[in-house]
Structure 1
């Protein structure tokens, strides 16, 4: 129980904290990060982040259309990938493939 009181984490059934087990095994703790903010993480990783979402548009003729779009976080560019009345996995996959094939090679380096 003394390890838990010192801040080494919860104590398991054997009476030792996980951090103590790692220390005895010769594994050092992870280094402290200088910045833990989500904003700084996104800025550092922005070139490789491609966000995707779908929104709907109701037409004058009372039909609903779904729009698939992508946002490049690094450049903040928005790409309209496709519009359809019925969203399917095959349609969304094909739109993503078409978009990635259309981007320059320099902009797709960090995207996986």
Structure 2
């Protein structure tokens, strides 16, 4: 198991983060974050960052949904630079459709 924002072993090809079990006695589910270099630039500094990403989504007759969670680190220092979260759900019913986006910036010194 890894720390989400600050991995135990930086540079791993993945992060495995355990979640609370759905019911007592069940094994805990996990989220798998894949390592990579991000071409998008949510923090607007013009640089690419290394980090980890978790993506998910589903499609169906009544609705389509998707999400992404990025954790990025400064290439030179290895310090946490930003965390980006986006979730979207498009439905036939406009009251149940949404788009959420958040960006947490961390100061790199």
Bin of the TM-score, shorter chain as denominator length: under 0.3
The alignment's TM-score, normalised by the length of structure 1, stands at: 0.25
Q: Is the helix fraction higher in 1 or 2?
A: 1
Length-normalised TM-score, structure 2? 0.26
Answer 1 or 2: which has greater strand percent: 2
